[in-house]
Amino acid sequence: MSASAEKTVPPGLEAYAELDKRLLAAVKGINILSTVSWPASLEDRMIESYGKGQYALPEVSYRKPDHSEVRKELAAIEKDAGDGDPIREYLRRTAESWRIAAEMLESVGTDGVTAPSIQLYGRPGDAIPGSHYSNLDAARYFVELSDELGADMADDDIVTNISSELLRKDLSKVLDDFFGQGVIAVEVDNDLTAKAAAGATRIRLRGGTRFSQYDRHQLLNHEAFVHSLTALNGREQPVLASLARTSPRVTATQEGLAVFAELMSGAIDIARLKRISLRILALDMALNGADFVEVYRFFNRCGQSVADSFHSAQRVFRGVPLTGGSAFAKDNVYLSGLLDVHTFFRWALKERRLDLLRYLFAGKLTLGDVMSLEAYFQSGAITAPRWLPPWMQHVHGLAGKLAFSLFINRIRMSKVEAGALSAGL
């Protein structure tokens, strides 16, 4: 079925489809990242100043939206959805997460953003399910590992020699071949603060930026073959069209799945894991009182350039005061989401449930949704994904990677044992 084909709602599910339409209509005007983002012109000026050692706090102003009517409608949808049935529960939880996001955005520019952002995205000290470690522990581990390996790893092969325009042409050809001609447009955006951003039918690249081959592979596998792909598959859904849009409650799974895709496709390097982890450490610093300049200096001391350090600090302080004690917690989900998704994939392999892994790509879902909505996948009320990432299409290769990690996790090796092995004992 093509995205433009008319979708028929299965009998008996019309009420769900109507609630879903109301949900999509209600959240149409909620744009989280654009509301909390900083102007590119401000960033350019401040990066120049910071490069000269002039560390004044940026002066950022935001336009506060009025989502009062939206919040009322979302509360009504939560009530009308009720609970019990898995689709009703999906609709209720999704409406609730959007309502929290609307409240958060109405506080933009104040510390009122911090608590709801933590409610949506978690905090660095949260425990990793199934372990006695926290997200903060995992971040420290990857930073320490990267630093240990860094002395022995040359960066000569990581060359940023691809212009944004050249990358645009390259990605356009690859995506036309995979999804079909013109399904996803690739554009250069000079006002974009992130290196790239993906929607269902458009991927934007930051203008004036040089990219490496690692960047290219990461953008393909993270942005195109997860974020855009799940959005396109979500558009195919006859009942839950909201599966085409990333609600706040699915952000952790979506970002975790996207980073996991980098891992499975060989598009991630230890420096990328370090960058993700440093952001979590920086979030913890900000929540504990560090101001913008202190967080900037932290990134700079950790080896990031002036521009990268500024952009990294900016991510932490989007939408909040810059004087310390506040943070926008979204960057917390990348590592915690990766760990959750990796655990889920290993569990599904152990239980011979590769069907559940395919369901993850049918739209913007959480890991819990895949389990609770299984009966609707089986009945066809939620359709199987039309597209799967290249690495998911080779099940034997995926199974081989996961099977190895599944078994190797049973092996606990002390430093003494490792020394004995290296000595041939």
Does the residue 404 lie in any domain? Answer: yes
Does the residue 416 lie in any domain? Answer: no
**Confidence (pLDDT) at 409:** 61
End-to-end CA distance of the chain: 61
**pLDDT (tens digit per residue) in 372-414:** 999 999 999 999 999 999 988 876 677 777 766 666 566 544 4
Does the residue 140 lie in any domain? Answer: no
Mean pLDDT of 145-173: 76
Residue 334 is part of which domain span?
13-128+237-409
Task: Provide the token pair at 293.
Answer: 């300049």
Residue 311, pLDDT > 60, answer: yes
The arrangement of strands across the sheet holding 185-189 comes to 185-189, 202-206, 196-198
Total count of domains within the chain: 1
Quote the CA–CA distance of 416 and 349 in Å, as a whole number. 32
**Confidence (pLDDT) at 245:** 95
**pLDDT (tens digit per residue) in 208-260:** 888 988 889 989 999 999 999 999 999 999 999 999 999 999 999 999 999 99
- Ramachandran region, residue 413 (left: φ > 0; alpha: ψ -120 to 50; beta: rest): beta
Mean pLDDT of 99-128: 96
User: Among all chains, which residue has been given the structure tokens 């939408």?
Assistant: 319
Q: How confident is the model at residue 199 (pLDDT cuts 50, 70, 90)?
A: confident
HSE value, Cβ hemisphere, 13 Å, CA-based, for 104: 30
DSSP string, 393-421: S-HHHHHHHHHHHHHHTT----HHHHHHH
Quote the CA–CA distance of 256 and 233 in Å, as a whole number. 18
Q: How confident is the model at residue 422 (pLDDT cuts 50, 70, 90)?
A: very low
Residue 363, pLDDT > 70, answer: yes
**Confidence (pLDDT) at 191:** 78
Does the residue 199 lie in any domain? Answer: no
The pTM of the full predicted model, rounded to 2 decimals, is 0.89
Mean pLDDT, the chain, rounded, equals: 89
Q: SS3 for 14?
A: helix
Quote the CA–CA distance of 379 and 252 in Å, as a whole number. 27
Q: SS3 for 185?
A: strand
Does the residue 5 lie in any domain? Answer: no
Does the residue 118 lie in any domain? Answer: yes
Does the residue 315 lie in any domain? Answer: yes
Does the residue 191 lie in any domain? Answer: no
**pLDDT (tens digit per residue) in 44-84:** 899 999 999 999 999 999 999 999 999 999 999 999 998 77
Of the candidate ranges 42-46, 68-72, 167-171, 264-268, the one whose mean pLDDT is the lowest: 264-268
Angle (CA) 42-189-38 rounded to 5° is 25
DSSP string, 68-108: HHHHHHHHHHHHHH-SSSHHHHHHHHHHHHHHHHHHHHTTT
